[in-house]
Structure 1
Amino acid sequence: MAEHPAYPVGLRLSGRRVVVLGGGQVAQRRLPALLAAGADITLISPEATPSVEAMADTGEIRWTRRPYEYGDLTDAWYALIATSDHTANEAASAEAETHRVWCVRSDDASAATAWTPATGRSEGVTVAILTTDRPDPRRTAAIRDAVVEGLRDGTLVAPHQRTKTPGVALVGGGPGDPDLITVRGRRLLAEADVVIADRLGPRDLLAELPPHVEVIDAAKIPYGRFMAQEAINNALIEHAKAGKSVVRLKGGDPFVFGRGMEEAQALAEAGIACTVVPGISSSISVPGAAGIPVTHRGVAHEFTVVSGHVAPDDERSLVNWQALAQGTGTLVVLMGVDKIGKIAETLIAGGRAPETPVALVQEGTTAAQRRVDATLATVAETVVAEEVRPPAVIVIGDVVGVGTGNQR
């Protein structure tokens, strides 16, 4: 048998009896995939890990709390033998052979009639890797990871043969580091015909796009008689109606001061399908990259994210700065570098202590990241002296003093 390679096949186990012997770490790792396949699972084991026990408690599996006995594999289609008792494993393996039940052995792969491949999934595709002669878990896992990662991030190009469905994806690109975009966002980028990108999006990703992809800088769209956002909306609609798959690549998250909903509404009014892919908001990720937790036990039980693009005394401001001044939680200000002096003045006048720590994190998560510390009383002059420029995330509160001080 060792002279012949294993024959790869996909088992359709939905509604079919599967027996798992042993409730330890092997079962804990294998059960989720069997459950996802819809298998009717019976676990036979005197004890189980807390995670496996939870599956039994919620009714996902049936648990017979005793050691293996001959006859347990009757009517099974597939068996996973993973007890710590080698004698019981041998007996169960012999029963499986007698009843022609395909079985996996965790203790002795050479005695098994089936091997478990290293598997991964990406967008409706299951990747299963087996070595040709005998299991090599580390190698198969490494190959699996490389293939799945390539499919997810678009570096392994496997184009769909079916016709693409035109539409727009509003993709949150994260705070700037290209590695912080979501897996789904990166995949949609790799499949796009047109990408309309913000200045604050992860620009390094654009260089990875195939040559045929049209990349449009949202800041350079000719506005004509339209205001900027209306012009962007029109560009999205125009390309989608031309039958293109369009990605609107935005910095952070599309719905956190990103005007994503305005674009989604415009697309809905035009009858164009729209997918929203959330992104990692800079309001949390940038402080984290600089070693600042926005919450910390015993220091801050809440955090508030506000836009600082208009000053507190501007009639357009919708922020209740008086309430924020009287709060005790962390305050994260986005787009507020040029207004921070007025913001600090308003917070102090409303009750926040002048010595409240402030951190400004410029170009967060990128190679140019830097952190500048101050207090509410000194932040206005510090911004000028240190020449802090947008984009920068401003963190106000005691959490600034408990961070690791991580800096790039």
Structure 2
Amino acid sequence: MTTTPTKKGSAAVQARRVLVLNSGSSSVKYQLLDMNDRSRLAIGLVERIGETTSRLLHTPLTGGDAETRERTGRIADHAAALKAAAEELAADGLGLDSPELAAIGHRVVHGGLRFTEPTVVTDEVLKEIERLVPVAPLHNPANITGIRTAQAMRPDLPQVAVFDTAFHTTMPEYAARYAIDVETADAHRIRRYGFHGTSHAYVSRKAAELLGRAPEEVNVIVLHLGNGASASAVAGGRCVETSMGLTPLEGLVMGTRSGDIDPAVTFHLKRVAGMSTDEIDVLLNNKSGLVGLCGDNDMREIRRRIDEGDERAALAFDIYVHRLKKYIGAYSAVLGRVDAVVFTAGVGENSAPVREAAIAGLEELGLVVDAGLNVVRSGEPRLISPNYARVAVAVVPTDEELEIADQTFALVGRAESDGQEMPVGQVDN
């Protein structure tokens, strides 16, 4: 592949649509957004790529009631997946060959220390993302595949990589470094990078808006609680600490990941249980967390079991909440002054019992939840603390796709306003 620049004033940079792609190892999530009003034109998911049971779900949002269409049958690879998605978009008059498409924004999980902001993909950028595969073996290869597939389909468009780790690159060295031999750490890129950065960036900024203040005036603790979970301490709009580390395994208890654990547990399992490195990896990433503690990683099911008197589910819930409290307390100390604690993502947005339990007993830190406000369900950012609370407690629905689209479109627009030529990818014959 070679890169060529678009010309200043070209249709690509005058257009107002952005396609957001989130490519996993066997799935592609996509959204097409109109940046005139930041509205979604269509959303979709291709899953089980490469299997006989592949499925595409596509929902156009351009008028009337949204009705999801479904395709089933084998979709061989990511190229076929994106082609199928493009066909569905074209059926709604939203084809990827449209001159209204300004750029394609890609979620890339690991950007290391080099990528601190959204970046137009070039040959060198792709090589660097590939060099980071050893520290993100489950994610970066799929992200690269998605980028290459999109480049082949629209070689004339800017492809923009938005990195999960970028928001956390503002952490000071004393927060980012592990206390191990410096030469070894540097040689193998071992440090704390953090993840879910697009969510933490979006949610911390929206929390400041909810408080009626500028992001640079606010200190926020963000709790991104989904199947993967992470916490961040954000001071004046900049991340100063986050719970995930070299990989997304560190930190909070998650759906299937252990979170914080004594590193010597791995040595013990190898020496005493005879487990291989790969087996320990699977144990800690796929068979631990809530599913390891009680057999379920769905918080709704865990709460149902608790209501029926299931002691194992109750213990799993208590361990989950205990870890949350530890991080809220620790990050309160790191920040010194906290203006808001904010819950987001699937569990954070929808589980009132988790929010209530995580804040209970933290009155000395200025944290209180209003029981009535906490149980209200809404898709809008909202406060769930009483007016007298010294520290606000809020629920802010995350929108990682919109954040990626915003960052992508801002980069393309910035280049245009500065008179820069925007490099685009072109596949060599």
TM-score bucket of the superposed structures, by smaller chain:
under 0.3
TM-score (norm 1): 0.28
- TM score, norm. by length of structure 2: 0.27
Bigger RCO of structures 1 and 2 (CA < 8 A, at least 6 apart): 2
Query: Which has the higher Rg, Structure 1 or Structure 2?
Result: 1
